[in-house]
Amino acid sequence: MKLLVTRQLTPAVEAKAAAEFDVTFRNGAVPMTEEEAHAALQGYDALLVTLGDKVTAQALQGDLRARIVSNFGVGYNHIDAAAAKARGIVVTNTPGAVTDATADVAMTLLLMSARRAGAGERYVRSGAWTGWTPTQFLGQHVTGKTVGIIGLGRIGAAIARRCHFGFGMQVLYYNRSAKEAGFPARQVTLDALLAASDFVVVAVPAAPETHHLIGAAEFARMQAHAHFINIARGDIVDEPALIATLEAGRIAGAGLDVFEKEPFVPEALRRLENVTLLPHLGTAALEVRDAMGFMALDNLIAFRDGQMPPNAI
């Protein structure tokens, strides 16, 4: 089975891939273009792709050799799964492996935004700090506050657990269906969540129905002291609307691990002091990236061996 791995993975994952398949490591510094993806689908039995690789409907046209696309990651909005299915191509992802790591980064951003940690760290590095004062970099308390989580799937539920058990926070959530969290968590409408929450966390998957789910109208419903956190996908948020909201001081701050046109981050966003920016660190821990890679390979191995991949989409 001829496999293309589109980006550099951890040594352990690459070693297993080499042992199991006739593998080519592209190791590209940037994601595959639509044209590159089309050529790969024509030349390989299987692709192991990741964030940004453009496996679009156009790339899936024509005479294709590939029969499976294994995604390294849980989000797969860079793959046209419906077009792949129509061509008889199986698409898989890696749920579960990313849950706790991504929830941890959500809490990192929530705390950094609330306590102005990014601005404080930059201040120390600048050499301008002259010592502790009672009113310097006053942020907001987190313990006992209300968090609103948009999307209570695996990752949203993991964030909710951390907020409830770690910080005694009241948990509100917006979700298509009610969920049993195992602790007090109240399902509300999106408008009610935005109006009542001290911290709003986005944890829904990227899909056509969630594109720009959060825009100017939604930011206008948030409280002036509230913080907005996004660890999901950048295009769920209308980025210009977020920038305008932060520039006007209509909310207290934001913490972002994802961006609408990643890796492009607008200068207007970069120069704001009331936003914490991370370079998509959600799953950036060695053991997590190993687990993701092994899960992606397990999907490929099952398919190769005539079995249904455990994480087929």
| Residue 57 half-sphere exposure toward CB, CA atoms < 13 A | 3
Alpha helices (H) in the chain, listed in sequence order:
11-20, 34-43, 81-86, 99-114, 117-126, 154-161, 167, 190-196, 216-221, 239-247, 267-270, 286-304
Starting at the earlier edge strand, list the strands of the sheet with 275-277: 186-187, 170-174, 146-150, 199-202, 227-230, 253-256, 275-277
Where in the sequence numbering do the catalytic residues fall?
A: 233, 262, 280
- The pTM (predicted TM-score) of the whole model is 0.91
Rg (CA), the chain: 21
- Select from 265, 268, 245, 248 the least CA-distant residue to 256: 265
- In the chain, the domains with their CATH numbers are 2-97+285-304 (3.40.50.720), 99-277 (3.40.50.720)
**Rounded distance, CA 13 to CA 155, Å?**
24
pLDDT in tens, the chain (313 residues): 999 999 999 999 999 999 999 999 999 879 999 999 999 999 999 999 999 999 999 999 999 999 999 999 999 999 999 999 999 999 999 998 999 999 999 999 999 999 999 999 999 999 999 999 999 999 999 999 999 999 999 999 999 999 999 999 999 999 999 999 999 999 999 999 999 999 999 999 988 999 999 999 999 999 999 999 999 999 999 999 999 999 999 999 999 999 999 999 999 999 999 999 999 999 999 999 999 999 999 999 999 999 999 999 9
Mode of pairing for the β-strands spanning 146-150 and 186-187: unpaired
Contact 71, 79 (CB under 8 A): yes
Contact 254, 242 (CB under 8 A): yes
**Rounded distance, CA 194 to CA 201, Å?**
10
Helices 154-161 and 99-114: angle between axes, nearest 10 degrees: 50
Strand partners, 146: 170
